[in-house]
Structure 1
Amino acid sequence: MNRSATPRNVAELLTKAAVIAFKTAYSVQRTLCTVYTRPFPKDVDEQRVHALFAVYGRITKVRLRFQQSNLQQKDSVYIEFESSADADTAVNSPPLQLGSTSDRLECLHKHDYEQQQRSFPQSSSLGTSTGKRKQGSADSVQDNAANLGSDHEESRKRRKLAAAHAKQIDELQAALKREQAQIETLKEAAKKAQHEASNAQASQKLAQSQLISKNIEMTSLKGQLEAAVKRAKANAESVHAQYRPKVQNLEGQIQELVIRSIPLRKPAFSTLGSEAAVSLDPANSLSETG
């Protein structure tokens, strides 16, 4: 199988792409979530600022600003919200200034403020939600309005880009979830196959164990049979050895009787012969008749 086509490598590539897209979207999103606001008393602390803007949403950071030359605290603050929608709400409807019942704080997105500072580095006054402070002349007001319009257009483009990145992240995350689900399916199949292989191996081991037991049993029976044969042979030899002298003795007695019976049989035969001869002699027969 081609290595690049495995689910694991596809998941890794999707993860890397998602991380890159997330970092890009995150950098854009952070600029949309950070609000520049002023004026504050120069002794204001982070807790008071946080309490003032907490009604708009969750705040992740409050950063006080200081002069680079003498490190004195400025009257402006950066507030970073968790959601760009909360930052938009704060910009569109800023809270009242501390200690005021009518004047509202000036709020801009951080990137809009930075863009404005690049365009007007000497300008220290920002527009509020109730109106813009007057600039030195009508021309400067018109130029400032044009630049603000350009900044808002840039902000709109950035929001659109952030939304596109967010959509891309969602798509990549969905693809990643699908790949992860496929990987989990493959893992489950591998586990099942491994379990079946383990069961087969266990069955094989059991069969081998039973075969070994049978071999041991057969070996034992063979040994018992050989021992029984040896015992029977030994018993037969013992019986044969026990009765052999008796048999030999009987055979000897029989042989002796046979030998002793031979002389007894010979005289009987000879007496019979002589009697037959006497009876057959004509002279004897005549003398006996006379």
Structure 2
Amino acid sequence: MYSSGAVAGIAIGCTIASVVIVSAVFLLVQRVHRRPPNLNPIPLSMRVLDYLPQGMGHKELRQEFSQLETQIKTYVVNFFHDRPVHATTVNADKLLAMLGGADDHSSNQWSTQLCDTSNNNRSIALRMYIARVLWARVDPRGVPDTTLLPVEVIHCYQAALLENRDNNWPPLLDYWRAMTAFVLASQYPRDRLAEGDPRTDNIKRTVAGLLDALQPFRVEGAERSVHILENVITDFAVLGFKIFSHINPTEVAWPPSSAAQVVLFPTLKQYRLDDGRRLMTIKEASCS
């Protein structure tokens, strides 16, 4: 019925169609059986990071940490004297109370160190004492009534920490910590205290308590010391919240003192979010 040219055209068309069909089936089978290039799921930490603001860099963190240490040193030099003070005039209970009961020194030890004026010992003791008091107030495990961190965060954090007490770095708690800080960013700005910030009252209480406990050693008539100390403690509150809200857990740790050295300012360490292993030491402890 068909001419030889038509038969040839049909044959060629069928051949091309067969090749296309076979190729399509081959590619489909290959795609189904081919192993994906990466079967590993995206780590939760990477997904969390996609939604969080850029974390505080290690260099910035180290600089702010060092600046606070310098502020304490300058404050002690300017507003405390080196004249003899008898230990009986020092209220040892007030000194210990400001530390929140989390210090390894006894009240009598602090009284003795602060009354010692030899070899610049009082200045060293004052710097160490003030630093310990302030860092105790940015510890998430601290007392909510005196904390320099957001109070509503601390109550939840401590409850979660209690539930995970058998695990030093519960991953879900760390994710919660970072996400909570992100949610509260509008109420607790990154670099300052907002107007009406609820931490303000605890800052003023800390100022009053410190100056009262250290009254025998203060320079008379230095009224502006109150304002300056308030600024120092405000800086501590801001940095404390930055450390608390960092995506990787960051620890402020006091190495044990020895006869050869006294630790004036703690070390700052950071751990991996996923498994809690040491990531780096951002700043070594400062010792005399």
Structure with max Cα Rg: 1
TM-score when scaled to structure 2?
Answer: 0.28
TM-score when scaled to structure 1?
Answer: 0.28
- Considering fraction of residues, name the structure with more helix: 1
